[in-house]
Structure formats: structure tokens, C-alpha cells
Amino acid sequence: MGVIDLDALEVRFGTRTILNGLTGSLEGHAIGLLGPNGAGKSTLINTLLGFHQPSSGAARVFGMDAYRDRAAIRGAVGYMPENDSFIGNMSGVHFVRYMAELAGLPPRPALERAHEALFYVGLGEVRYRKISTYSLGMKQLIKLAQALAHGPRLLILDEPTNGLDPIARQRMIQLIKDIRKQGSVRILISSHLLRDIDEVCDEVLILKGGRIAALNNIEAERRSNRSFVELETVGATERFAVSIRGLGCECVTFPDGRIKLVIPDQVEARDLYQVAFEQGVQIRRMNQRRDSLEDIFLRAMESEIARPPLVRL
């Protein structure tokens, strides 16, 4: 049983099919939900929370039917919506306590955990201020605090870094990483920012037009894929290329001193520098990358990218 199981899930609004036959099992500790606008990410989240009834098929969270057992699922889930969603007239601690009590905590533990959650996300100093006076970053953080306060088993974060400046974004990502590292909470993050998903998630579900375009274990993908390196060198490039082939690398040389190579796992970057030093070759630039989430995403989107029709003037 995965964290989330989708069984030919179909959701229709009137005549429009929003999610079309999604099937798969998501088992990662941190699951990324990617896709272009209108792909169905938010609809999938809303379906998992029991806000929408599937027109056919089923979605299960921890083995519970997302619609039939929605009360039990909501008790086990912490949800941080994409848009502003709070009660501006309440102070931070009052709001988080209110949400914790709605999740089922008795008043005293709810108050205790509200304070803890606000300190944890970094809003401890402003917890008695009205939420309407918070900055955008603080409003994102208070949504995270209320999602965490009742100790959920699954944290659903819808665009958690939306509208944040780089520092606030980094802080949010770090918080999510910390929660993930703690281990007791599974995380589902919906985002259209590949970098966010890449930094946090170990599994990714890519949606396109309401269908699953890819369902990948990012960690396994990274392990199985080889590392690509591009070098800019000055000196005896051909002789250098022969030497690094001797290390087990596959490489192609170009006339301007550029070399593209695939390095096996046992070869480190410093081995290349060592060979370059021995050959009297200068490495002016080294660009190393693994088969990234971006590649996975672009491959999934490939069929989507349609060539624009020619326009004759």
C-alpha cells in the first residue's frame, strides 16, 4: 500500500474531464506533483482531500478511499493551500490553535502545539499579531504552521514557495527538508517550479492534460543515469582525451578545445584535474550535470510541445 494510490481515477466537472484515468502508486517520503497550468494538480489535491467526488475510479490515501473516508483522511492530513487562506482578524497563535482544535486536538494541547508550530516555522516573535498585518512570506509560513500543528501523517503543500523572495523561498525549502528528514510525515508538494521539487522530493508525478505523463522515482533515476561533463580546455586536448578514455570515460572532442564526456561512477572530477595536470592541459571550465528533473520533465512534456503552424504573409 502506497501513501497515495490512484486507480483509474477520473474527475469530471460537467462535460469537462479534468483528471483522466490516473493510475499509479506514490510511495515516496516526499512526492512532487508537477505539471503545466491546467494539468490537474490542484484538482488531484482537492480530490485527495475529498472536495471532489471521482466520476469513476478511486483515489486512496493511506489505503482509505478519498471520498468515502474523507473525514478520516482530513484528520491525518495537513493541507497548505496555494492561495491566501486564513482569518485575518485573528492573531497567529489563535488561528493555529483554532485549526488544531478543528483537527481534533483538545484545547490545551492545541494551544501548546500552536505555539510550538509557530516557533518551528519561525513566526514565534509575531504570533500575537493579527494575521492581516503579516507579510506575504509570513502568511505562507502561518499556512504551513496550521498544517503542521496537529501532527499530520501527510502534509499536502500546494505551491508552498509561491510569491516568496529568494531568502524566504530557501527558508521554506529548508523547513520542508527538515520535516522530511524527521521521517514521520510524508509530503506531497505541488509546484510548477522544478527546482523546488528537485531539492526536496524523491518521487515525482508529472501531469499533463489530466493524464499521468511520468511517474518517476527521482533518486533511482539519478542513480541510474550517468553524469555528463562538458570541459573547456587549453593545450593538448587530443592527448588529454586519450588519457581520460583510459579512466573509462566516453568522450568527444571539438576543435575549440571543448570536450564532452560521460564519466562513470568511480571517476571523480579531481581525477580529471589530475590527468590534466599530468598532461599540461588547462581546464578553464567544467560544467557537470546529472540527468536532472528538468530532463525528466521535458521528456514528459515532449509530446505536448506542438510546432506552431506556419504563417504565410
Partner 1 sequence: MSVYEHTYRPYAGPLTSPRSRILVLARYGMAEAWSSKITIALFVLCLLPLLTFLVGIYIANNPLAQMAILKGSKMLAIDASYFLKILTTQSWLALILCSWVAPRLVSFDLSDNALPIVLSHPISRVGYVAGKFLALFSALSVVTWIPALLLFAFECYSSPQPWFFANLRIAFGLLAGSLIWLCFLSLLGLAISAWVKWRVVATGAIFAALFVPAGVGGVVSAVLSTKWGFLFNMPYLIATLWERLLGAENPRMIGAFGPLPTAAILLVLLLTCALFIAMLNARIRAREVVKG
Asked if 259 and 283 count as a contact pair (C-beta separation under 8 A), the reply is no
The secondary structure element, H or E, covering residue 222 is helix 218-224
Which residues in 153-172 contact partner 1 (CB under 8 A)? 153
Our finding on whether 67 is near partner 1 (CB under 8 A) is no
Site string for partner 1, 128-147 (x = CB under 8 A): ---xx----------x--x-
Specify the amino acid at residue 100.
A
SS3 sequence of 48-102: HCCCCCCCEEEEEECCEECCCCHHHHHHHEEEECCCCCCCCCCEHHHHHHHHHHH
DSSP labels for 277-306? HHHT-EEEEEEEEES-HHHHHHHHHGGG-P
Q: How far is the CB of 12 from partner 1 (least distance, A)?
A: 9
Site string for partner 1, 4-33 (x = CB under 8 A): ---------xxxx-----------------
Rounded to an integer, what is the distance from CA 153 to the centroid of its chain?
A: 18
Our finding on whether 200 is near partner 1 (CB under 8 A) is no
Residue 285's contacts (CB-CB under 8 Å, 6 or more residues apart) are 230, 231, 232
Q: How far is the CB of 306 from partner 1 (least distance, A)?
A: 24
Which residues in 90-119 contact partner 1 (CB under 8 A)? 98-99, 101-106, 109, 113, 115-117, 119
Residue ranges in contact with partner 1 by CB under 8 A:
13-16, 46, 49, 51-52, 71-72, 74-75, 77, 79, 81, 83-89, 98-99, 101-106, 109, 113, 115-117, 119-120, 124, 131-132, 143, 146, 148, 150-151, 153, 178-179, 182, 184-185
